[in-house]
Amino acid sequence: MNYFELFGLSPQFDVDSHALADTYRTLQKQFHPDKFAAHSERERLQAVQGAARINDAYTTLKNPLNRAQYLLSLHGVELNAEQQTLKDPAFLMQQMEWREQLEELSHAPDVLAAILAFEQELQQASQDYYGQLSHQLTQAAWQEAADTVRKLKFMTKLHAELERLEDAQQDF
């Protein structure tokens, strides 16, 4: 049983996050290891394994990027520990520009304002990529979706670096 089936959802990128959370709470109540304390050791072990699987499934499905990767894996496209590089020259140039922007932020006259502006730029680009990803997955364009996931992984890393820079500025 895959994660979507476990939660009674259609295997698609766009999911109802409220339904996902509600089903998670219901499943956790049913399979919580404390409910099996008086059962046999085998049943207790199965309850612990079931609860762990429910937690893994929920963690995967609630995060859009993880959900996309999981959905791709269901269709035979594995991205974990891959060595394939992105062959999109325009995005590679954009990556370099964003990296340069990130490096220059600490030299801006108003660093926090520059960080905020850059953060908004990254948020908009990420939203655009998530829109593309949703469309690609709906159209079963698996390889294109895999490339978009690669782009979003870069965006996630860049955003984390930006947050670290922002945190460092607020320590002053």
Burial label, 151 (beta-carbon count in 10 A; 0-12, 13-18, 19+): buried
Domain 89-170 -> CATH class: mainly alpha
Q: For the chain, where do the domains classified as CATH 1.20.1280.20 start and end?
A: 89-170
What pLDDT was estimated at residue 172? 56
Residue 36 CA: distances (Å) to CA of 23, 56, 70, 120: 20, 20, 30, 48
Which tokens in the block code for residue 92?
């590679």
What pLDDT was estimated at residue 83? 60
For residue 127, the Cα-to-chain-centroid distance in whole angstroms is: 13
* CATH assignment, 3-62: 1.10.287.110
What pLDDT was estimated at residue 171? 64
Q: For the chain, where do the domains classified as CATH 1.10.287.110 start and end?
A: 3-62
Name the residue among 87, 70, 80, 92 with its Cα closest to residue 144.
87
Q: Which residues of the chain have pLDDT under 70?
A: 80-85, 171-172
- pLDDT tens-place string over residues 2-47: 999 999 999 999 999 999 999 999 998 888 777 777 778 887 788 8
- Cα(150)–Cα(133) distance, integer angstroms: 11
What pLDDT was estimated at residue 81? 58
